[in-house]
Structure 1
Amino acid sequence: MTAVEPLSGIPLPAPAGGEPYLLTPGPLTTARSTKEAMLVDWGSWDGEFRALTAELRRRLVEIAGGGDAYDCVPLQGSGSYAVEAMLGSFVPRDGKVLVLMNGAYGQRITRTLGYLGRAHVTLDKGDYLPPRGHEVGAMLDADPAITHVVVVHCETSSGILNPIEEIAAATAARGRKLLIDSMSAFGAAPLDAATLGYEAMVSSANKCIEGVPGFGFVVARKDSLAAAKGNSHSLSLDLHDQWAVMNKTGQWRFTPPTHAVAAFLEALRLHALEGGQPGRLARYTRNRDTVVAGMRALGFETLLGDRLMSPIIVTFFAPADPAFRFDRFYALMKDQGFIIYPGKLTVVDSFRIGCIGQLDEHVMRRVVAAADQALAAMGVATAAPPSSALDERKLQAA
């Protein structure tokens, strides 16, 4: 692969060693310098590593706009570990949660709450539509027992960017607490803690900050962290205890992902160099616009209209042509240097193309060209989806 053109002063080389670009919602393609940061071994108890942890926490609160009212608690494991930790630590055992669902990750939150034994109700919008503030307000008015609202910021099973501002306003107006799964959006989509007033937000190292897998993190109100003592169902996932120990000793309670932390500090440096959240959002938006325009020109249809489509990942309907098989399409795309993502819709066949990671619009043009070549190799005459998929989209949107 040849290097792509620099963007905004940030060089975006092709992945090292000819490895493919990851067009997924994370793990994603990382910068060479981020990979190189993992070449040093760290002692988890050492003062230099504790300084890395402190810097990580400070910078994430800064990106979140949390000021003195918020703190950051990193936690070993995947993003789902951090989501479960957030739910188990901040929702008391006698609490009740309203889960806003429009895809697989809202469904996973509901399943997690079931494991935790926390009472919950759902607002299920299907695959195509976002929950709206007035709907949240109506459900909260009808059920005073609800203590918390949980929403996925970007539902990557469809690519919807949910309207966090109106959901936060409806929740705050009724004195309830808001928990946000911003796993695939934090660092690119705006999520200002001081404006939204959420109780806690969770994300992961290997998403829009463009680090590597190994830990998630929660940005939460300090008073809520203090009040969370005794809520958790789990020693390992107890955010209050992790927070208290980190503040006392500077250390993680259990073995930290030292190399992932070092890589994340480099990823944070690159994030700031690109212009922080606004700069990253601008690049991801160009990526989305480029791939959507190109794929539509090939005949593909997007699940969502332009108004609801996030700059994180785009869902495309699978073509109706009987010559199209996703596993073959995937292999042909990989052969040309691009790993795409299978669909996760509940009703129709689809696939997804991520817009995040060390990619720019020049790479996305190559993605479109690779898709064109893959269709030709498969003998697909048209990329148009089945009429049933379009009918389902109209039905859901009605």
Structure 2
Amino acid sequence: MNGSTHARPERLVLMNPGPVITDDRVRKALSGPDMCHREPEFSGLLTRVRHKITLICGGDERHTSVVLTGSGTAAVEAAISSAVPRDGALLVIDNGHYGERMWHIADAHGIRAHRLELGWATPVDLDAVDRALAVDPGLTHVGVVHHETSSGMLNDVAAVTRIAHAHGREVILDAVSSVGAERIGLAEDGIDWLAGSANKCLEAAPGLGFVSAAKAAFENLADAPRRTYYLDLYRHHTAQEKSQAPAFTPGIPAFYAFDAALDLALAEGQDARHARYSALARRLRDGLDALGLEILLPPGQRAASLTAVRLPAGTGYPELHRGLRKEGFVIYSAQEQLAADFFRLSTMGRMTEQDIDRFLETLARTLPNRG
């Protein structure tokens, strides 16, 4: 062997917004024993996980959760396709890729939708939401993304919910990239339907999504349209609440990991996790500023767990990704209209200050004229 062989980094730092670096206890939980999903052992595991999710989402005794074997998108699709009634319609607040995705999901299920297209990385226009609901009484639900991961923007969903409720409408919230780290609460904020994922700010393994809502709301789905079979929330709720069993074969190892990750999240607390993520993000953003790199959003609009950064002139994303990957860092491209000019850096998961410092040092060496 010659001396040019590049040493493999001891630690691979995932700076993509999920799946994330997990705690050793979460990874260890994945190797739990083989289990039949129709036996009491899994019933107990399922019930524990559902209860912990509801607590994480700020629910109380009025609320419950349904767990799905699928991604966060599966949870969002389950909520939209199940909650909007036959004669209902969805107002979609679109200021990024995932708001647009809600509109596409509604369209795929033949649900009438009004797309309030604000433009990527544009704050929610609350007056426009108010006007749209006022002029179209047929809009029964409002779809909004909490953390719009395409740009790193944190939308004011509490304000959106207040407006929606003033008009007598329900809110379907995509909290896939926010729940666990950003302040949100079913009870406190009155969120009607909250869709989330195990493998982002809740720091579990990928493979599970969930929907949390009032127990009465799930029960009211009995007469709702059956637009889908696998993602029918009433089917899952009936199985999980009445029989303490899954409707279909679940990803059992992912449940083991999620149970462990939820324990860690509850022990840390939402405020402490938000503070941990925010501190890492500040450390990263201060370093990016020092390197002269432009961050997409102003400080007041940024989520705690993701930063969109402009690519320096003369640097393409593929070469930047390759160079950093060799040094043990996985970065993430921007999407669609931002892809040519930006890349994204997540501070989700079990990242450390040392990871951030080493990344900034490596980035400085990698970028031209930034050493």
Match of 2:84 among 87, 91, 104: 91
Q: How does 1:1-398 map to 2 (within 5 A)?
A: 18-40=10-32, 41-229=34-222, 230-274=224-268, 276-320=269-313, 322=314, 324-347=315-338, 348-375=340-367, 380-381=368-369
Q: Is the 8 A contact 1:26 1:206 kept in 2?
A: yes
Partner of 2:3: none
Range with greater deviation from structure 2 (158-167 or 44-53): 44-53
TM-score, with normalisation over the residues of structure 2? 0.94
Deviation at 1:381, TM superposition (A): 2.8
Q: Is the 8 A contact 1:159 1:315 kept in 2?
A: yes
Deviation at 1:248, TM superposition (A): 2.1
Amino acid at match of 2:252: T
Aligned-residue sequence identity (percent) comes to 33
Partner of 1:14: none
Deviation at 1:246, TM superposition (A): 1.1
- Tell me, in whole angstroms, the C-alpha distance in 1 between the residues paired with 2:11 and 2:353: 19
Deviation at 1:19, TM superposition (A): 4.5
SS state of the match for residue 381, structure 1? coil
- Tell me, in whole angstroms, the C-alpha distance in 1 between the residues paired with 2:287 and 2:55: 36
Deviation at 1:190, TM superposition (A): 0.9
Note the residue ranges of structure 1 that are not aligned, 5 or more in a row: 1-16, 384-398
SS state of the match for residue 299, structure 2? coil
Amino acid at match of 2:357: R
Deviation at 1:133, TM superposition (A): 2.6
**1:75-125 CA deviation, whole Å, 9 max, x = no partner?**
111111111111011011221110001111111111111110000111112
Q: Is the 8 A contact 1:158 1:345 kept in 2?
A: no
The 4+ residue runs of structure 1 with deviation greater than 4 A are: none
Q: Is the 8 A contact 1:303 1:316 kept in 2?
A: yes
Q: 1:79 to 1:53 in 2, by over 3 A?
A: same
Amino acid at match of 2:343: F
TM-score, with normalisation over the residues of structure 1? 0.88
- Tell me, in whole angstroms, the C-alpha distance in 2 between the residues paired with 1:199 and 1:169: 11
- Tell me, in whole angstroms, the C-alpha distance in 2 between the residues paired with 1:231 and 1:132: 31
Amino acid at match of 1:381: N
Amino acid at match of 2:155: N
Deviation at 1:43, TM superposition (A): 1.9
Q: Is the 8 A contact 1:133 1:169 kept in 2?
A: no
Deviation at 1:369, TM superposition (A): 1.1
- Tell me, in whole angstroms, the C-alpha distance in 2 between the residues paired with 1:272 and 1:98: 33
- Tell me, in whole angstroms, the C-alpha distance in 2 between the residues paired with 1:284 and 1:169: 27
Deviation at 1:18, TM superposition (A): 3.0
Deviation at 1:60, TM superposition (A): 1.2
The alignment covers a number of residue pairs equal to: 360
